[in-house]
C-alpha cells in the first residue's frame, strides 16, 4: 500500500511577481526543509517542478493519521519565511490518494491525487482533500464538457442566443442579453447546463467568450443595417477573459471595425471576477471600459461575497438580481425583503436594476410594486437565435417607423 500527498503552494506566482525569483527560490528551499522535517522520516519526498512537491508513504496508514500528518505540515508551512528582512507569508494545499484503493497504475495514482488537490484549491485552498470516486465523476463530466466546447469551437457551432430585457412598466423590449449556446450536428441546441463545467477551464471559457463576442458584433452590425436598433446588448465576461492582456483593446477595436456605438454594449461580470489575485487589474480594466462608454453590469447579485464593497469600488451601472431570489417571491418572506432592499439600494445609488428569471404574473406584479424597472425571464421570452430577433421585433419596428 502507498499513500501519496501532492502539495501545491498557494499564491506562489504572486511572490515571484512582486518580490522576484530569488525570493521564490528562498520559499521553495524553506518548503523543502519543512517537508523533510515533518514527513522526511516517514516518506520519500521530491519536488516535481514549479511549486509542486510530493510525499510518498509506504505501508498501511489510516486516513486519520494521514490527515494529522498533512495538518501538521500545513501548519509548519504557514510560518513566514524571512527574505531580506521581510516576512513572506504563504500557504499550501494538499491532495491525497491511496494505492491500490484509488488507482491501478502509477499514472492514475498521480491523477487521483491531482484531482483531490484541484478540488481543494477550487474550494478555497489552504487545506487537505482526499480522493473519492465522486471526484472522478466530476472530472469526467468536466473533461467531456471541455471536449464538447473545443470541438464546437473548431467547427463554428458556438453561437449567441438573445433573451430580451423588458421594461416592467409596459413590457417593451429595451435590450438583449447574449447567452452561449452550442448548435449540435443533429440540429438540436445545447444550453450552458450541458457544458457548464467547461467554464472552469481557462482555454474553453475564453473560446466561448471569443465566439460569442464575434457573433454578437456581427449580429448587431446586421440589425443596424436593417434599420433595427436592439438597444443595449449585454454579454458575460469571466475572470479568464480579463486575464488576456489585450482584452479591452480587442473589444474597442472590434466595435470600431463594425461601427457599433460603445453605448450599445454592456459587459456582465459576476462577483467571482473580484475574488482572485488579479482583482485590482480587473478593476482598472473595468474603469477603462466604463470610460469608453461601455456599461458594466453586476450579474447574479446577492450570491457572492462583499457585494457592497464592489458597488463602492467598481464602476457598476446596473445590478441584476439573481433568479433564486425572484423564484422565492411570495414563498419566502426573506426573499421578498431582500429583493425590495436591493431595488431600494439601486435607486438610491442611481443604478439600473434588472430582475432575472421572471416566470409568473405574480412575480411581475411584486417587482412593479417595488419599482424595479427592468427584467427578463420566460414570462416574456426565452433566449432566441439571432434570426428570430428581427421577426419578434418587427411589430415594434413598424410602430417606431
The secondary structure of 135-188 as a DSSP string is: HHHHHHHHHHHHHHHHHHHHTT-EEEEEEEEEETTT--EEEEEEEEEEE-TTS-
Phi, psi of 311 (to 5 degrees): -65, -30
- Integer Cα distance of 315 and 78 in angstroms: 36
pLDDT of residue 135: 86
For residue 320, the tally of other CB atoms under 10 A from its CB is 26
- Bin 141: left if φ > 0, else alpha if -120 < ψ < 50, else beta: alpha
pLDDT of residue 40: 78
- Cell numbers representing residue 196 in the block: 457548464
Question: If you search the block for the grid coordinates 514549479, which residue do you land on?
Answer: 50
pLDDT of residue 277: 59
pLDDT of residue 119: 85
pLDDT of residue 367: 95
- Integer Cα distance of 258 and 241 in angstroms: 21
Question: If you search the block for the grid coordinates 446588448, which residue do you land on?
Answer: 233
Quick check: helix, strand or coil at residue 380? Answer: coil
Question: If you search the block for the grid coordinates 482533500, which residue do you land on?
Answer: 129
CA angle (217, 390, 166) in 5-degree steps: 85
Question: Is 165:173 a contact under the CB 8 Å cutoff?
Answer: yes
- Integer Cα distance of 28 and 32 in angstroms: 6
Report CA Rg, the chain.
Answer: 25
Question: Is 178:128 a contact under the CB 8 Å cutoff?
Answer: no
Mean pLDDT by 10 residues, the chain (401 residues): 92 85 93 90 89 90 88 91 90 92 92 90 82 86 92 96 96 95 93 89 92 96 93 92 88 96 95 71 90 94 70 90 88 86 92 95 94 95 94 66 52
- Integer Cα distance of 341 and 305 in angstroms: 17
pLDDT digits (tens, 9 = 90+) for 370-386: 999 999 999 999 999 99
pTM of the prediction? 0.75
Question: If you search the block for the grid coordinates 478593476, which residue do you land on?
Answer: 283
pLDDT of residue 125: 75
- Reference 153, options 117, 179, 180; nearest CA is 180
- Cell numbers representing residue 238 in the block: 469571466
Amino acid at each position: 500500500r502507498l499513500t501519496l500527498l501532492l502539495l501545491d503552494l498557494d499564491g506562489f506566482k504572486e511572490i515571484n511577481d512582486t518580490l522576484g525569483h530569488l525570493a521564490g527560490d528562498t520559499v521553495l528551499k524553506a518548503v523543502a526543509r519543512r517537508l523533510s522535517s515533518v514527513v522526511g522520516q516517514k516518506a520519500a519526498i521530491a519536488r516535481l517542478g514549479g511549486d509542486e512537491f510530493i510525499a510518498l508513504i509506504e505501508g498501511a496508514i489510516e486516513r486519520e493519521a494521514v490527515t494529522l500528518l498533512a495538518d501538521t505540515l500545513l501548519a509548519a508551512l504557514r510560518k513566514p519565511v524571512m527574505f531580506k528582512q521581510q516576512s513572506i507569508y504563504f500557504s499550501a494545499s494538499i491532495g491525497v490518494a491511496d494505492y491500490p484503493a484509488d488507482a491501478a497504475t502509477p499514472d492514475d495514482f498521480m491523477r487521483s491525487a491531482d484531482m483531490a488537490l484541484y478540488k481543494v484549491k477550487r474550494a478555497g485552498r489552504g487545506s487537505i482533500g482526499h480522493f473519492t470516486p465522486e471526484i472522478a465523476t466530476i472530472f469526467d463530466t468536466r473533461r467531456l464538457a471541455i471536449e464538447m466546447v473545443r470541438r464546437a469551437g473548431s467547427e463554428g457551432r458556438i453561437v449567441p442566443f438573445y433573451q430580451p430585457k423588458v421594461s416592467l412598466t409596459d413590457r417593451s423590449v429595451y435590450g438583449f442579453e447574449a447567452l452561449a449556446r452550442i448548435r449540435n450536428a443533429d440540429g438540436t441546441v445545447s444550453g450552458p447546463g450541458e457544458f457548464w463545467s467547461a467554464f472552469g477551464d481557462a482555454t474553453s471559457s475564453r473560446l466561448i467568450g471569443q465566439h460569442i463576442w464575434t457573433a454578437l458584433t456581427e449580429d448587431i452590425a446586421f440589425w443596424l443595417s436593417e434599420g433595427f436598433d436592439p438597444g443595449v446588448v449585454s454579454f458575460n465576461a469571466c475572470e479568464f477573459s480579463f486575464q488576456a492582456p489585450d482584452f479591452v483593446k480587442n473589444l474597442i477595436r472590434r466595435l470600431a471595425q463594425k461601427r457599433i456605438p460603445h453605448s450599445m454594449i454592456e459587459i456582465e461580470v459576476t462577483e467571482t471576477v473580484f475574488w482572485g489575485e488579479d482583482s485590482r487589474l480587473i478593476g482598472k480594466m473595468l474603469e477603462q471600459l466604463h470610460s469608453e462608454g461601455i456599461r458594466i453590469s453586476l450579474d447574479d447579485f446577492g450570491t457572492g461575497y462583499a457585494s457592497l464593497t464592489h458597488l463602492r469600488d467598481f464602476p457598476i451601472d446596473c445590478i441584476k438580481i439573481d433568479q433564486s431570489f425572484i423564484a422565492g417571491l411570495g414563498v419566502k418572506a426573506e426573499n421578498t425583503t431582500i429583493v425590495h432592499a436591493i431595488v431600494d439600494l439601486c435607486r438610491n445609488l442611481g443604478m439600473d436594476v434588472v430582475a432575472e428569471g421572471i416566470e409568473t404574473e405574480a412575480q411581475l406584479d411584486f417587482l412593479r410594486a417595488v419599482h424595479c424597472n427592468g427584467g427578463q425571464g420566460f414570462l416574456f421570452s426565452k433566449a432566441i437565435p439571432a434570426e428570430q430577433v428581427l421577426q419578434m421585433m418587427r411589430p415594434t419596428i413598424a410602430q417606431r417607423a
